[in-house]
């Protein structure tokens, strides 16, 4: 090998060595870069997971703070004192709660039982099964509904088609979120947040299905917010037994004090609270519909027993129209005006119209509402079997009665006139003034179609199942209207015959101005 070849070989070898050295340096730099990127990726994933975990913990603490605090307290207890002390303490606490429940069930449920029951029902029942119930009842929304709607705003058709295709492949559903569970003596209130595409009316229409899913006899849906509803499940029927009316007072002031005529006790609601009805003011005009034996007499007499001091003091002047001469006649002593036939009914209505016109002349321009007094008392008209005289009588008498009742219903509120009518057949032909009596009570009716006749459209779908009331549940009915957003099941207080006679003696012996129809003929009607 000559000198030139040796030099060429050395040059090539040196070049290769330089190249390898450069590649080694670059490789180490790239390796460092890749290592740094990998470390950053791992750190990012770890940080993301940590944030997700912290978010989940925060959500659990906010949404289930009671349970989290209880678990934290148990962990601390076991750490400090051990498991044996925990078991002993839990046993003692359970024994104390059992004794408390047996001795004072009402106090136990009010201060402790309802919280424990709500916690247990949320985790053991509604948390596990509510989503399935809602899906089975058609109260869920497919997840693909929202992406499809959102893609309408996309400009690119290709992107729109891709988004739609991707959404169509989704098979999940959006389920209303369980917010909280409250448990009372007889009802569970399950609050859920609706998902986009739902409305509260959707849950109203599925009340029967939800009741069957929960295996209870009644389910009521209440709208709390535009996107929040409370699904109430009745575990125990508080209206199964008869409800007692208030006792007739024995010794009370004769000035009528203590009686709020805008909220008079009438019975009990399905939630265990007092059911009150107005005898004067807004929403006092009332129509009560029910089949024979449904308990219209209880709805009639129970508020009157509660208002007995006001009637005795002369703050309430009673008028009664009793076509079948069996209901109001039993306590006719409390009525300043009483009639049975169509002719007598017209005379009573004429007397009321005369008094109404008189009050117009006295108070027009001076006040917007007549002040209640013994000189200008509340004129309360009890019209039993109103359909007998607004449909089943001669045309002339029928038209005259309907015209006068309409005048009292449309003009009487501010002038202290109230009409309360009772009917078996609640059709528009039978009660032409039905729409002028805004407060409705539907007792047991013959068919499903009669429910909206009394309570209005949508009442049956929202839970007013008046046609399903058992025959043995006299006084049980549904109320809807005048501020009541959902149908409310109530039971009027039962008023026995001796209580009606006691009421009659209490009112008449108290010096109330009772003027019988035979003594009033020819007068202007100010008695």
pLDDT at res. 410: 92
**When comparing pLDDT for 125 and 84, which is higher?**
125
- Per-residue pLDDT of 455-497, as tens digits, reads 888 888 888 889 999 988 899 999 976 556 678 899 999 999 9
Which residues, 6+ apart, have CB-to-CB distance to 189 below 8 Å? 181, 182, 183, 230, 231, 232
| Residues placed in the known binding site | 290-297
| Residues placed in the known binding site for ATP | 290-297
**All domains of the chain in start order, with CATH:** 107-140+175-234 (3.30.980.40), 264-520 (3.40.50.300)
pLDDT at res. 12: 65
Which residues, 6+ apart, have CB-to-CB distance to 452 below 8 Å? 458, 459, 460
Mean pLDDT, all residues of the chain: 82
Measured distance CA(280)–CA(302) in Å, rounded? 16
Measured distance CA(140)–CA(111) in Å, rounded? 36
Mean pLDDT calculated for residue range 222-249:
90
- Per-residue pLDDT of 336-365, as tens digits, reads 999 998 899 999 999 999 999 999 999 988
DSSP letters for 83-150:
HHHHHHHHHHHHHHHHHHHHH-HHHHIIIIIHHHHHHHHIIIIIHHHHHHHHHHTT--EETTHHHHHH
- Per-residue pLDDT of 490-508, as tens digits, reads 999 999 999 999 999 888 8
Q: 411 vs 352, 368, 373, CA distance in Å? A: 12, 12, 19
**Residue/partner pairs of 176-180 with CB below 8 Å, 24 or more apart:** 176/134, 176/139, 176/140, 178/122, 178/126, 178/127, 178/130, 178/131, 179/228, 180/122
Measured distance CA(72)–CA(66) in Å, rounded? 10
In the chain, what is the straight-line distance between the N-terminal and C-terminal CA atoms, in Å? 149
Least confident stretch, 66-70, 100-104, 406-410, 516-520: 516-520
pLDDT at res. 326: 85
Least confident stretch, 416-420, 438-442, 459-463: 459-463
207 pLDDT above the threshold of 70? yes
Q: Residue holding tokens 């108290």?
A: 510
Q: Is the pTM higher than 0.85?
A: no
63 pLDDT above the threshold of 70? no
Confidence of residue 64 (pLDDT cuts 50, 70, 90): low
137 pLDDT above the threshold of 70? yes
Mean pLDDT calculated for residue range 504-513:
69
153 pLDDT above the threshold of 60? no
pLDDT at res. 10: 61
């Amino acid at each position: 090998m000559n000198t030139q070849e040796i030099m060429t070989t050395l040059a090539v070898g040196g070049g290769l060595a330089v190249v390898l050295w450069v590649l080694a340096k670059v490789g180490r730099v790239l390796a460092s870069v890749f290592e740094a990127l990998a470390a950053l990726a791992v750190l990012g994933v770890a940080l993301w997971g940590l944030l997700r975990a912290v978010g989940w913990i925060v959500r659990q603490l906010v949404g289930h703070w009671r349970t989290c605090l209880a678990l934290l307290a148990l962990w601390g207890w076991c750490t400090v004192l051990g498991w044996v002390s925990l078991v002993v303490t839990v046993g003692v606490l359970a024994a104390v709660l059992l004794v408390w429940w047996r001795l004072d069930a009402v106090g136990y449920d009010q201060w402790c039982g309802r919280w424990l029951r709500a916690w247990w029902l949320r985790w053991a029942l509604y948390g596990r099964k509510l989503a399935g119930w809602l899906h089975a009842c058609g109260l869920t929304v497919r997840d693909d509904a929202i992406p499809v709607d959102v893609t309408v705003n996309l400009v690119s058709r290709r992107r729109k088609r891709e988004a739609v295709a991707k959404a169509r492949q989704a098979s999940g559903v959006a389920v209303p979120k369980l917010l909280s569970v409250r448990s009372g003596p007889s009802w569970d209130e399950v609050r859920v947040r609706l998902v986009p595409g739902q409305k509260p009316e959707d849950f109203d229409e599925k009340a029967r299905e939800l009741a069957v899913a929960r295996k209870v006899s009644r389910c009521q849906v209440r709208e709390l917010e535009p996107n929040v509803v409370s699904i109430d499940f009745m575990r125990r029927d508080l209206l199964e037994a008869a409800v007692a009316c208030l006792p007739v007072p024995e010794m009370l002031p004769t000035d009528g004090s203590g009686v709020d005529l805008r909220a008079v006790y009438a019975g009990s609601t399905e939630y265990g609270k007092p059911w009150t009805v107005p005898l004067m003011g807004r929403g006092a005009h009332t129509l009560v519909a029910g089949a024979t034996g449904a308990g219209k007499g209880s709805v009639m007499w129970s508020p009157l027993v509660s208002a007995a001091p006001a009637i005795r003091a002369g703050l309430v002047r009673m008028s009664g129209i009793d076509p079948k001469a069996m209901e109001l006649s039993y306590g006719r002593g409390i009525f300043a005006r009483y009639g049975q036939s169509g002719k007598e009914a017209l005379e009573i209505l004429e007397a009321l119209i005369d008094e109404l016109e008189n009050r117009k002349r006295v108070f027009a321009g001076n006040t917007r509402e007549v002040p209640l007094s013994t000189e200008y008392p509340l004129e309360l008209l009890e019209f039993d079997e109103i359909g007998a005289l607004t449909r089943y009588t001669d045309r002339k008498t029928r038209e005259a009665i309907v015209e006068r009742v309409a005048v009292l219903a449309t003009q009487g509120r501010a002038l202290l006139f109230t009409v309360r009518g009772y009917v078996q057949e609640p059709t528009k032909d039978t009660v032409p003034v039905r729409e002028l009596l805004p407060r409705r009570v539907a007792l047991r009716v013959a068919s499903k179609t009669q429910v909206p006749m009394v309570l209005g459209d949508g009442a049956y779908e929202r839970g007013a199942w008046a046609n399903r009331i058992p025959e043995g549940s006299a006084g049980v009915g549904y109320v809807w209207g005048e501020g009541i957003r959902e149908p409310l099941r109530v039971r009027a207080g039962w008023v026995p015959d001796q209580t009606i006679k006691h009421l009659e003696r209490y009112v008449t012996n108290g010096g109330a101005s009772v003027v019988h129809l035979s003594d009033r003929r020819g007068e202007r009607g100010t008695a």
